[in-house]
Copies of this chain bind each other. A is one copy, B any other.
Amino acid sequence: MQGVVSTALNGRRRQRTTRQGGLVRDQLAAAEGFRSAQSVFSELRAKGEVVGLSTVYRHLQALADDGEADTLQTPEGESLYRLCGQSSHHHHHLVCRTCGRTVEIEGRGVERWAAQVAEDNGFSEVDHTVELLGVCGTCAAAAAAPGRR
């Protein structure tokens, strides 16, 4: 996983390679959907790994800052993280509110729309939040056949 990082950190992360950092990253990689800092913490604890809560938060935020992880907020105000392939690639998510499965989606149309609306109203430096929350086909099917045994 982690190879030689050493000196030449050309735009790359500046953190030192540590056991804990790898654990947080691995735990996130093993998950299918978004996870909260709290759950990453307790899952690691459950696996017997001793890591500090602060450390989990630190690494999660570092990953997010580096663009290696995506982040979103639940309506309850909890932050969720998820490892993400490309750091330079802007995209949005379609998340299943039942199983947490996540589909990354591109929204060229939305980007354009957002930019247009912003311009029409004289706004600049506009950021946008676009998240879709629904029920995936699998979960919908499961919910539709409740009597099954």
In the bound assembly, the distance between CA atoms of A129 and B137 in angstroms comes to: 20
In the bound assembly, the distance between CA atoms of A94 and B114 in angstroms comes to: 9
Given the known interface contacts A77-B73, A107-B113, the answer about A126 and B134 at a Cβ–Cβ threshold of 8 Å is yes
- Interface size range on A against B: 20 to 34
Copies in the assembly, this chain: 2
Q: Is the interface of A mostly helix, strand, loop or mixed?
A: strand
Q: In the bound complex, do residue B124 and residue A134 qualify as a contact, i.e. CB atoms below 8 Å apart?
A: yes
Question: CB of A24 within 8 A of chain B?
Answer: no
Q: In the bound complex, do residue B110 and residue A113 qualify as a contact, i.e. CB atoms below 8 Å apart?
A: yes
- Taking Cβ atoms with an 8 Å cutoff, the residues of A that contact B are 73, 75, 77, 79, 94, 96, 103, 105, 107, 109-110, 113-114, 117-118, 121-137, 140
